[in-house]
Amino acid sequence: MSKAPNNKWWRGGVIYQIYPRSFADSNSDGVGDLPGITAKLDHVAQLGADAIWLSPIFKSPMKDFGYDVSDYCDIDPLFGTLDDFRTLVQTAHTKGLKVVIDQVLSHTSDQHPWFVESRASRDNPKADWYVWADALPDGNPPNNWLSVFGGSSWQWDTRRKQYYLHNFLASQPDLNFHNPEVVDAILGTVQFWLEMGVDGYRLDTTPFYFHDQQLRSNPPRDNTVAADPALSDANPYGWQRHIYDKERPENLGFLKQLRELLNQYPDTTMVGEIGTDDSIATMAEYTSGGDKLHMAYSFDLLGKDCSAPYLHGLMQKFADKSNGGWPSWALANHDVERVGSRWGGPERNLQMLRLAAVFQMCLRGSPCLYQGDELGLPEADVAFEDLQDPYGITMWPEFKGRDGCRTPMPWNSQAADIGFGDGQTQAWLPFTEAYRPLAVDLQDQDANSHLNFYRQLLKWRRTKPALIHGEQTLLPVHPQVMAFVREHEGQRILCAFNFSDQVASLHLSDALVPTHTLPVPGLTGGCLSAKTLAFEPFGGLLVQLL
């Protein structure tokens, strides 16, 4: 199957994440599917994205909505068939879009045949394919490791009379990557989809592949280690330093094996999800040297802190440690509160959201958008009785889970179900009335809409090679303004953003000689006077430099 052109497209390419269950329902069963995605690819192409990333579509009992895989080499019937997937890939390629799929390699479903066999006895051929451990003498689990979703990460199994490791749900047992047979089997599943014509992988939970074979307990987290910004403070998982249950040194060797496999398939890529105690440093390590991940993203931009000093600190840390590594910067995904509410606030401040979008598009790296970002969707309010996310059900009420960012995509303002399906079938999550005036059909016709702002922004970005390929140099930290220079083949652009609700100014050093400001679609609130930049609240400026 032919690929969409442009080798190394991922360096600066815009990736659009699709959560299949909630994108478009073609067969009126209440769940989005592959034919529904295929029918809506024009929306993504017109937006100006370079690739789509599909959250998991493999066979699964759906305890964690596809992140619990029971067959790595087949499509779940909820989403369609292998032929539907082939059609999607072929259609995407004809529209110039690459297709990246979500690979959940660290764990499987407990209904995967590998685990069914592994748990049957202690001496079967797959007995060591998962992480098994004896109980302590008092019957307790072997150590203090915690599940991200709450409670111990060890589950007692009466068949083997042992505990097995699960970093997420108990129905998601962790594979034992210390076993070479497991690694070979996993690489075989990756190759299956490369042969099918995919352009790359988003690797779920990348730091979790290996565990400490001595099963040492994690120490408590102290004030010198920042908490994961995407974790609720109601979750005790963040109270530990996770130095033994993930991010083990052996991970690097496996990532090199993955890269060697992908290198056999031209124009492919890998982007890893990084959630660790020092995720920026891990991003840098996992993307350095050109022999591991092509790119990675962390959750550091998926929290609520969007102050200039915080953003400057993230970018400085990555620059200091990256050794040429390539980041992918995401402001939203299917696991966190929508950026429309998280950064836009309760009033959905569009000026702030547009400033954030331009900032994301100007950073060195590959921007990753989440479906609905282009519409400025706020977080949906999902009642407890409608929750589907096991994480949210467990952590209620302090943390409501991830359903609020996963409700159906609004396509048609007049349709009963905002255009997600046929209007007659109840969707897996209730559609959100607040999305009706933000639907694609209305925004498509409004030249000043957030959707058309994004279309113009992505089109404009393609005309600025420095923003796609250029190196990035940070200006000194400023209490209000995040500023940096992008430079490529003689083109130098100063990018400056006031991430505060107060006016601000920035005086340029003698080394920076401005010539004129660059008009950016949707970016307002700044002016240049001699060597001083002045900003209105949430204002931004791009300036051409000599």
Q: How many Å is the Cα radius of gyration of the chain?
A: 23
**42 is known as an active-site residue:** no
| 52 shares its domain with 196 | yes
β 491-498/540-545 pair status: antiparallel
Boundary (domain end) residue, out of 441, 461, 481: 461
The contacts of residue 484 (CB under 8 Å, 6+ apart) are 315, 362, 363, 472, 473, 474, 475, 494, 495
If asked whether residues 386 and 525 sit together in one domain, one would say no
Q: What length does the chain have? A: 546
Q: What is the CATH number of the domain that holds 486?
A: 2.60.40.1180
Domain match, 500 and 525 both: yes
Instruction: Check whether residue 284 and residue 424 sit in a common domain.
Output: yes
Residue 117 lies in a domain: no
- In-domain check, residue 187: yes
Q: Is 134 among the domain residues?
A: no
409: which 2 tokens? 């995509």
Q: Distance of CA 78 to CAs 28, 101, 274, 337, Å?
A: 11, 17, 28, 26
Is there a domain that residue 66 lies in? yes
Residues 355 and 446 grouped into a single domain: yes
Q: Which domain holds residue 508?
A: 469-545
- Known active-site residue 347: no
- DSSP string for residues in 94-157: HTT-EEEEEE--SB--TTSHHHHHHTT-SSSTTTTSB-EEPPPTTS--SS--B-TTSSBSEEEE
> How much is the pLDDT for 363?
98
Identified catalytic residue from 68, 84, 110, 273: 273
Is 399 found in the same domain as 295?
yes
Residues 474 and 426 in one domain: no
**Does residue 439 belong to any structural domain of this protein?**
yes
**Over its length of 546 residues, how does the chain's per-residue pLDDT go in tens digits?**
455 444 689 999 999 999 999 999 999 999 999 999 999 999 999 999 999 999 999 999 999 999 999 999 999 999 999 999 999 999 999 999 999 999 999 999 999 999 999 999 999 999 999 999 999 999 999 999 999 999 999 999 999 999 999 999 999 999 999 999 999 999 999 999 999 999 999 999 999 999 999 999 999 998 777 767 767 778 999 999 999 999 999 999 999 999 999 999 999 999 999 999 999 999 999 999 999 999 999 999 999 999 999 999 999 999 999 988 999 999 999 999 999 999 999 999 999 999 999 999 999 999 999 999 999 999 999 999 999 999 999 999 999 999 999 999 999 999 999 999 998 899 999 999 999 999 999 999 999 999 999 999 999 999 999 999 999 999 999 999 999 999 999 999 999 999 999 999 999 999 999 999 999 999 999 999 999 999 999 999 999 999
Q: Are residues 508 and 537 in the same domain?
A: yes
Same domain, 390 and 417: yes
128 located within any domain: no
Judge if 213 and 77 occupy the same domain: yes
Number of alpha carbons in the 13 Å side-chain half-sphere of residue 117 = 12
Whether 294 is covered by a domain: the verdict is yes
Instruction: State whether 82 and 197 are in the same domain.
Output: yes
For residue 6, give Cα distances in angstroms to 43, 51, 292, 344, 488.
21, 12, 21, 35, 19
Query: Considering only CA atoms, which of 324, 314, 230, 327 is closest in space to residue 271?
Result: 327
Q: What single letter denotes the amino acid at residue 440?
A: V
Tell me, yes or no, whether 190 lies in a domain: yes
Final residue before a domain boundary, out of 432, 461, 490: 461
The number of domains in the chain is 2
- Whole-angstrom distance, CA of residue 251 vs CA of residue 209: 6
Q: What is the model's pTM?
A: 0.96
Per-residue pLDDT, 223: 76
Which of 409, 436, 461 represents a domain boundary (last residue)? 461
Residue 185's domain is classified under what CATH number? 3.20.20.80
Beta strands, E only, 317-450: 328-330, 366-370
Minimal CA–CA distance to 476: which of 447, 515, 506?
506
Question: Are residues 287 and 354 part of one domain?
Answer: yes
Q: At what angle do helices 279-287 and 308-321 cross, to 10 degrees?
A: 30
User: Would you state the pLDDT for residue 1?
Assistant: 47
d(CA 431, CA 150): 28
| Catalytic residue from among 204, 247, 373, 374 | 204
